[in-house]
Structure 1
Amino acid sequence: MFTTLRTLLTHWFGRHRRAPDPDVQTQGAYAEAELVHPDEHTSSRRVPYDENLLERARTQWQFGDWESLTKLDRDTLQHHPDRAKLALLAVAGHLQQGDSPAAKQFIRLAQEWGCSKRLITQILVAGVHNTLGRASAVAGRQSAALDHFSRSVSIGSPGSDAHLIVQARLGLQLSQLGVPYQGIALFGDPTYQIQVAKEPEPATRIGPSLDKSQQTGIDPSSVSRVVILRLDNVGDHVLGSPFLKGIRKLYPSAEIVIIANESAASYYSHCPWIDHMIQIPNRQALFYSQKQLDAIHQIISEMPGGTFDVLINPRFAEDYYHACLISSYVPARHRIAFRQNRTVLDGLDPNSFYNELVDIENDTLHTIEYSWILLNYLGVDIRPWPEVWFTRDELQAVCTRLGVSLSPWKFPELFIVVVGIGASTKNRVWPKEFYAELANQLSSKLGVALVCMVGSDNEREAGEFIASRSEYCVNLVGRTTLNELAALCSVAHLYIGPDSGPKHIAAASGCPVVEIGHLPSSHASRARSFDTMGRCWAAVNVYARTISPGSLFSDTQIAKGDAIAAILPSQVIDFVSEFISAPAFAESLTRFSRLPERK
C-alpha cells in the first residue's frame, strides 16, 4: 500500500523541495507576522494575521469539512507563522474534493515553507484512509468505513480524543456523499416537522392488533368535527403524537381540535395535524378543584361549532388526569376511550362517560403501541412515530442564547450535549449537585464543548445553582419553549436526563438518549416492555440506553428519590463514555445527512 502511495505522491507533487522557511520556526501568541519587503531590506513592518486560523482549520480537518479547507488561499497564508501547516491542511481539503492541481500547488507551498516530510506523510496517508472510508460508505460497508475514518483521525491527529472526532467525521462524510441512512426527516418551510425516519418492526413484533369485529362502525365520510382530549404530562403528549397523524389520515377534511393542559399546550403550536388547540389549566393538586372544573367548563362551552362527531380520549392507563370529567363538558355523538379497569375517583366509573370502549388484554406494552391499537380500532392501518415541530425563528432563538451559529442544514461543529434536570415526580429528580459535577466532567473528561442545561420554570433555582458551580454549562432552564427545546435537540449530539418530557422531545428530534433511571433493573415496572421497545415509557426509535440504580430499593425509597440518587456522576460519565464509543452512536450522527439544503 505504501509503495503505491509513494508512487502517487511522486506523480501528484514531484520531488522538488526547497529549503525550509525560517519564518515557520517562529511560534508565538502575537497577532502580527514579521515581513521583510523585497525592496526594503533594512526595515520591516508587521502584517496582521488571524491567530485562530490554525486551530479552526485543524478542527475542520478533524471533522472532515473539506470545503472550508479549500477556501484557504496563498495570500491569506503567506504571512501567517503557521503557514506551512495551514498549506498542508489545504492540500487535504483539495484532495478530498478531487482537485489535484490545486493540491499540488499547496503541497509545494508547504514544502517551501518548511513543512516536515513526516507531517506531510501523516496527512496524506490519513487522506488515503478517509478516501477508503468514503468508498466503503458508498458501498454500504459501515463497519469498514468507520475503521478507515478511525485510522485517518489517529494517523493525522495522534493524541486527540479520537472516538469523539471519528463519530463527527463519519456523520459529515456521509452527509457530503449523500449516502442515505435512516435518520431525521425534515419537511416544510418555515415550520420544520421532525420525525425519525425508521420504520416500525412488523406487526407481529410490535404488539397486538384488534380483529375486524372490534373495530368501530363509524363511517369516516360522516365525520366533519373531531375533538381529542390529551391531559397528560409532556412526555405522554410526545409519545401520543403519532395518533394525531393517523387521525388526520382517517379524516383528511375534518376539523380536528385538541384539548390540552397548559404545561403541554405549546408543543402543539406548529402541529400540522390539528386545526385548533384549546388550552385548559393544569391541576393544582391531586384532583381538580371545583373552581378549576368550573373554569374549564366555561372555556369548553365557549368553543364554536356545536356538537362534535367524534370525541376521543387516547389514554390507556388509569385516568389520573380526570379526562372523563372534562369529556362530559364536550357535546359529541361518538365518545371513544380505552376501557378502564381501575379508577382513581371513588364512586365514579370513568367508563360511563363514553359510548365506545376499546378492550385490551395486555397492559404491559410501550405507550406508543396503544396509539397504534386505537388507530387500528378506528380503521387506520399506519404506525407512525413521535414527532416534534419548530420554526426557523425558534431555532435562531436557541442559537442566540448559546452564542453560536447552528443550523439544521449543517453538521454542528461543536460537540453539544443537552442535559435535562427536571421531572414531574420526586422519584425521578437527580440531585442538583450531581448535575453540576456531571457538567464539569462532561467537558473535562469527554471534551464536550457545550453542556446545555434545560428544564421548566419550576427548576430555575436548580439551574442557577448548577450554573454557579460549573463554568462549562449554558443555563437554559426555564428559558426555552418546548418547540425551542426540540430545535436544540435536533442539532445536539446527545441528551442526558431522567424519564421526563424533554427526554421524549429529544428522542423525537432524533437525538440519542442516555436516561438516568430511577428504577432498579429488577423492579417490576421494568417488565412493562416489548422486545423492540424497552420499558413502557422508554425513548423510542433512537439509540438510547438507561443507567439504573445498582441496588435493590423499596417502593418507598424509590418514591423518595433514594434510588436515583444512588447513581453517581462518575458512573454516568463512564456510562456515557461507553455509550458514545459504540458504533450505534456514530451511526446516529448520520441523521444529519438527511437534512436538505436550505432553499
Structure 2
Amino acid sequence: MQINKEKIKKILLIRPEMIGDYVIITPAITALKNAFPNAKIAIFIKEMTKSLVETNPDIDEIILDPNQIKKGSFDLAIDFYGDPKYARLIYLCRIPYRIGDCSRILNCLFYNVRVFINWRDFTKHYLEHYLELLRPLGIEVKDPKINIRPAKSAEESVKKLLPSGKYIGLHIGTGGSNRSWTSKNFAKTAELIMEKLGLQVVLLGGKKEEAKAKEIMNLSNPKPINLVNKISLPELAAVLSKLAVYVGSDTGPFHLAAGLGIPIVALMPTKFVKPTQWGPWNTRNIVLRPNSPCDKACNPRSCKDSTCLIKISPDEVLSAIQSLMAGGGNNTLEESKKDWIKKSLNILLIGKDLKNLEKASSLLFNDDYRACSIKNASLRKLLSIFVKEDINILHSLDSGPNFKLRLACLLSSIKLLLPVLFIKTTQAFNQSSEIIDIYLKTLCRKFH
C-alpha cells in the first residue's frame, strides 16, 4: 500500500516490552520526528518504562492502557513488537496505515503495509532491524544514535548517593537470553578494581539480583556500593551517566549505558547471543566472548553448565576496564562491527587438499577469526561439530559433490537457532579479507 504522508498527523508506536527494547528503538523514534515534525507521536508501553520514556522530547503521549488506542484516532501505527495480540488490536482500531513485520505469517493478516525482517540475519544489529520498519515511509537513517536523557530530578538525588569521583558499574544480572557471571567472579573483580585502580565500584541490578548482591557483598573486601534494587529507573539512568566504565551482560541497563555514551565491557559468554546483534551501540566497548566449545545446544534460560562462564576471568575484565579508561577498545561503530563479526562468525573449513585447507585456516586464525578445519567427516560428526563450536558457516574448499554437506547444514536448524550456511569455493586465498568478503556477500544474498 502506498502511504500518503500528507495525511499522517498522529502516529502510534507499539513497543510494550522491557527497558532495552525501548532504548534500541529510540533512533527510529527520532527519525520519525524528523520526518514528521508536525505530527503527534504516541507510544504504547508498559508502566515499568514510563519514567524513562517521559524524558524523550520526541514522544508527545504515553499510552499504558490498550483500550485508549482506539480513542486516539491515529493515522499511522508502527508495530515494533510483533505480537499477534497487538497486531490485531491496531487492525480492530481501524488505523488507516499499519506497518509491521510480516515474517510472522499470522501478523500479515492485520498489517496493510508489510515489511519482511529476517531476524536470522546475525550480521545486523537489532537496532538496525527495527529501522527497517521505516522503509515504507522512505526514511533511511545513515548514522542512528540512541536518544536517552537522564531526568534532572534524578540527577540531583543521585548526587547524594554518588559524590563526585570515578565509579565502575558492575551490573550483576541478565535479561535471560544470556548467562550471568558468578558471584565469586563479580566479587573478585570488585576487589581488583578497588585495590589496583583505586576506584569505587557500584553494584547494579533489580529485585531478582538481591540475593546475588548479598553474596557479592559478603565475598568482597573492601566492599562495593550496593545499589541493587535500591534506585528507580530514572535514578538508574542518572547513575549510569556518572560511570567511568560499565561492566555487564546485554540487559536493558547495558543498552541504556551505551545510549548514554558510557564505555562498556560487554560480558557475552554464551553461544546464543551474538555481539553483531546485541553489541553496545555507538559507544566505546570491549566485548569479552570466549571461544568455549560446549557439546550442548545453547539455551541460556535452562542451562546449568558453567563451561562458558569460567572462560572469562576477573583479571581479563580488569584489563578491559584499564584499556577503556586509557582510550582503548572499539572507538567507532565501524571498528565495533569488525570486531563483533570476528566474535560472532564461527567457521568450519572442510577439504581434502590439506595444503589449501591449512592455508585458509591459518589466514583466518591469524587475524583472530574463529575457524576450525577437518579433512572429512560423517554426517553425525558434522552435526556434532556444528553444535559444539556453534558453527554458522561451513566452507567447502573441494570441487566434488557436496550433498552430505548441504544436508548437514539443512539439519542444523534442528539444534541451532541460526542454521549453518554452506559456502563452496575452489580458488586459493592470500588474505583473510578475501575469505570474509565472500562470507559477508553470501550472507547478504541469503538474508536479503
The answer to whether residue 116 in structure 2 is matched with residue 359 in structure 1 is yes
The structure 2 residue matched to 1:264, chosen from 40, 49, 52, is 49
Structure 1: gaps (5+ residues): 1-215, 280-298, 343-348, 406-413, 527-533, 588-599
> Do 2:283 and 2:331's aligned partners in 1 also have CA atoms closer than 8 Å?
no
Partner of 1:311: 77
Partners of 2:117 and 2:152 lie apart in 1 by 42
Partners of 2:52 and 2:116 lie apart in 1 by 29
Partners of 2:110 and 2:331 lie apart in 1 by 49
Q: Greater CA radius of gyration, 1 or 2?
A: 1
Partner of 2:102: 339
Partner of 2:3: 218
The answer to whether residue 237 in structure 2 is matched with residue 480 in structure 1 is no
Local SS of the residue matching 2:243 = coil
Residue by residue over 1:213-239, the C-alpha shift from the partner in whole angstroms, topping out at 9 and shown as x without a partner, is xxx632222122211100333212111
Partner of 2:180: 429
The answer to whether residue 92 in structure 2 is matched with residue 274 in structure 1 is no
Partner of 1:150: none
The structure 2 residue matched to 1:547, chosen from 288, 292, 309, is 288
> Do 1:220 and 1:250's aligned partners in 2 also have CA atoms closer than 8 Å?
no
Q: How does 1:509-528 map to 2 (within 5 A)?
A: 509-520=260-271, 526=274
Rate the CA distance shift 1:262–1:462 in 2: closer, same or farther, 3 A.
farther
Rate the CA distance shift 1:329–1:481 in 2: closer, same or farther, 3 A.
farther
The answer to whether residue 391 in structure 2 is matched with residue 391 in structure 1 is no
**TM-score in terms of structure 1 length:** 0.50
Partners of 1:310 and 1:504 lie apart in 2 by 27
Q: How does 1:43-442 map to 2 (within 5 A)?
A: 217-279=2-64, 299-303=65-69, 305-315=71-81, 319=82, 323-328=86-91, 330-341=93-104, 349-360=106-117, 363-364=121-122, 365-383=124-142, 384-402=144-162, 404-405=163-164, 414-425=165-176, 427-442=178-193
Partner of 2:276: 535
> Do 1:517 and 1:564's aligned partners in 2 also have CA atoms closer than 8 Å?
no
Partners of 1:302 and 1:432 lie apart in 2 by 44
Number of residue equivalences: 325
The answer to whether residue 252 in structure 2 is matched with residue 467 in structure 1 is no
Q: Which one-letter code corresponds to 1:394 in the other structure? A: A
Partners of 1:395 and 1:435 lie apart in 2 by 26
Residue by residue over 1:447-496, the C-alpha shift from the partner in whole angstroms, topping out at 9 and shown as x without a partner, is 22x21111122222322332343333111111223332222222321000
Partner of 1:569: 314
Rate the CA distance shift 1:338–1:276 in 2: closer, same or farther, 3 A.
same
Q: How far off its partner does 1:242 sit?
A: 0.7
Partners of 1:218 and 1:249 lie apart in 2 by 17
**TM-score in terms of structure 2 length:** 0.66
Rate the CA distance shift 1:504–1:437 in 2: closer, same or farther, 3 A.
same
Partners of 1:341 and 1:321 lie apart in 2 by 9
Query: Identity, % of aligned pairs?
Result: 25
Rate the CA distance shift 1:330–1:363 in 2: closer, same or farther, 3 A.
farther
Partners of 1:578 and 1:427 lie apart in 2 by 24
Rate the CA distance shift 1:551–1:399 in 2: closer, same or farther, 3 A.
same
Structure 2: gaps (5+ residues): 333-448
Rate the CA distance shift 1:341–1:253 in 2: closer, same or farther, 3 A.
same
Local SS of the residue matching 1:495 = strand
> Do 1:510 and 1:542's aligned partners in 2 also have CA atoms closer than 8 Å?
yes
Residue by residue over 1:143-163, the C-alpha shift from the partner in whole angstroms, topping out at 9 and shown as x without a partner, is xxxxxxxxxxxxxxxxxxxxx
Partners of 1:582 and 1:424 lie apart in 2 by 28
Partners of 1:473 and 1:464 lie apart in 2 by 11
Q: How far off its partner does 1:390 sit?
A: 1.8
Q: How far off its partner does 1:330 sit?
A: 4.0
Rate the CA distance shift 1:307–1:320 in 2: closer, same or farther, 3 A.
closer
